[in-house]
């Protein structure tokens, strides 16, 4: 393993267990696990509920599915500190984060593509209903595949130039090296700005054609707008911390590690794990499906427990 300019490296490399890191990364890992559970419930709900099988709703389920890989990748740092390893090479980190990186790329791309799908649906409603939704769905899947390959190539180029660099292995380590730093940041800016533009145009069209837009389209768009807003707000807050607060206050490495980064990772985890709660509270169709599907299972469990109790007096 090569030497590192990270001021925490000499302190933590051979220290073994670092309680404060285990606690902080453990809290983030717990948030991620809750998010994975919520995303899994949304995927399961979509599979089991026939009324949620429209191309757009399948894309929403795919977003939740791939966002779970991003959340899984955010737990890696906790595992490394929990075992007292603390630092691994960037080469090892790249291979560990290979699948989570693909998941995070597809999830972020789907954020924008779902907005594009909704925009096409309100601009060309007749074409979209007849054949456009399937064409758009296939086009989006193609974009996600190509985008994931490009991002993996970028991560490989950045990581391979520093294979022996010691890192704590966050999800962003392979994608934030000098060789790919600008590509990663421009990509994120395009995703969030494009998503914001899509939903702004959608609501302008809905506002101008209120009587022509079906009510279910308005409700689903509202739910997705809330979901988009949560991700956008978390992204802006992270940028604000990194680009404004840190340079302004000239924070040291310990403050960044123990304060700024945990907040940043927690915001990201909450954003990518919020799909199911947002859809439950903001969309009647999803709320009804959640109650029907999981309420039915809860009743089955209650009945089984009652039978067991009565059969074993």
Least confident residue range of 113-127, 234-248, 258-272, 284-298: 234-248
pLDDT score for 308: 46
- Confidence category of residue 300, pLDDT binned at 50, 70, 90: low
Considering only residues 10 and 111, tell me which one the structure prediction assigns the higher pLDDT.
111
Residue 205: predicted pLDDT: 92
Q: ∠ CA 202-208-211 to the nearest 5 degrees?
A: 100
Question: Quick one: pLDDT at residue 238?
Answer: 82
Domain-located, residue 32:
yes
**Is 81 a domain residue?**
yes
- Count structural domains, the chain: 1
Residue 112 has pLDDT above 50, yes or no: yes
Domain of residue 77 covers: 9-311
In this predicted structure, the answer to whether residue 71 has a pLDDT above a threshold of 90 is yes
> Residue 1 falls within a domain, yes or no?
no
pTM of this prediction? Answer: 0.90
Q: In CATH, what number is assigned to the domain containing residue 63? A: 1.20.1070.10
Dihedral (CA of 282, 283, 287, 288) sign: positive
Model confidence band, residue 303 (pLDDT cutoffs 50, 70, 90): very low
Q: Which residues contact 264 (CB under 8 A, 6 or more apart)?
A: 238, 241, 242
Answer whether residue 23 is part of any domain.
yes
Whether residue 3 is contained in a domain is answered as no
Q: What does the angle CA 179 – CA 182 – CA 188 come to, to the nearest 5 degrees?
A: 130
In a domain, residue 4? The reply is: no
Q: How far is CA 18 from CA 85, 86, 166, 171, 252, in A?
A: 10, 8, 17, 20, 19
CA–CA dist 150, 246 (Å, integer): 30
Winning range, highest mean pLDDT, from 94-103, 211-220, 245-254: 94-103
Asked, for residue 129, whether it belongs to a domain, the answer is: yes
> What's the confidence (pLDDT) of residue 307?
46
Residue 30 has pLDDT above 50, yes or no: yes
DSSP per residue, the chain: ------TTHHHHTTT---HHHHHHHHHHHHHHHHHHHHHHHHHHHHHH-GGG-SHHHHHHHHHHHHHHHHHHHTTHHHHHHHTT---EEHHHHHHHTHHHHHHHHHHHHHHHHHHHHHHHHHHSHHHIIIIIHHHHHHHHHHHHHHHHHHHHHHHHHHHHTTTT-EE---TTTTT-STTTHHHHHHHHHHHHHHHHHHHHHHHHHHHHTTTTS-HHHHHHHHHHHHHHHHHHHHHHHHHHIIIIIHHHHT--HHHIIIIIHHHHHHHHHHHHT-HHHHHHHH-HHHHHHHHHHHHHHHHHHHHHHHHHHHH--
pLDDT tens per residue across span 159-180:
999 999 999 999 999 999 999 9
| Tens digits of residue pLDDT in 272-299 | 999 999 999 999 999 999 999 988 654 5
User: Is residue 232 domain-resident?
Assistant: yes
């Amino acid at each position: 393993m090569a030497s590192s300019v990270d001021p925490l490296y000499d302190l933590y490399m051979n220290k073994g267990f670092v309680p404060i890191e285990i606690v902080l990364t453990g809290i983030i890992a717990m948030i991620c696990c809750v998010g994975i559970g919520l995303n899994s419930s949304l995927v399961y709900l979509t599979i089991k509920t026939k009324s949620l099988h429209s191309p757009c709703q399948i894309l929403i389920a795919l977003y939740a599915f791939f966002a779970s890989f991003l959340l899984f990748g955010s737990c890696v740092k906790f595992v490394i500190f929990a075992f007292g390893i603390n630092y691994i090479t960037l080469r090892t980190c790249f291979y560990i984060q290979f699948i989570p990186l693909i998941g995070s790329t597809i999830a972020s791309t789907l954020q924008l593509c779902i907005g594009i799908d909704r925009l096409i649906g309100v601009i060309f409603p007749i074409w979209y209903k007849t054949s456009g939704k399937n064409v758009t769905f296939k086009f989006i899947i193609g974009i996600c595949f190509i985008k994931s390959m490009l991002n993996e190539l970028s991560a490989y180029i950045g990581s391979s130039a520093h294979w022996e660099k010691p890192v704590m292995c966050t999800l962003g380590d392979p994608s934030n090296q000098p060789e790919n730093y600008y590509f990663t940041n421009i990509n994120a800016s395009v995703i969030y700005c494009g998503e914001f533009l899509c939903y702004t145009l959608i609501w302008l069209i809905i506002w101008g054609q209120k009587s022509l837009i079906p009510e279910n389209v308005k409700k689903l768009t509202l739910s997705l707008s809330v979901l988009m807003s949560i991700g956008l707000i978390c992204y802006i807050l992270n940028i604000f911390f990194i680009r404004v607060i840190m340079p302004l206050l000239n924070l040291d490495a310990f403050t960044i590690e123990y304060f700024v980064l945990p907040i940043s990772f927690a915001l990201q985890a909450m954003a990518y794990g919020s799909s199911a709660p947002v859809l439950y509270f903001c969309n009647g169709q999803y709320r009804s499906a959640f109650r029907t599907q999981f309420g039915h299972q809860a009743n089955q469990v209650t009945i089984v427990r009652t039978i067991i109790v009565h059969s074993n007096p």
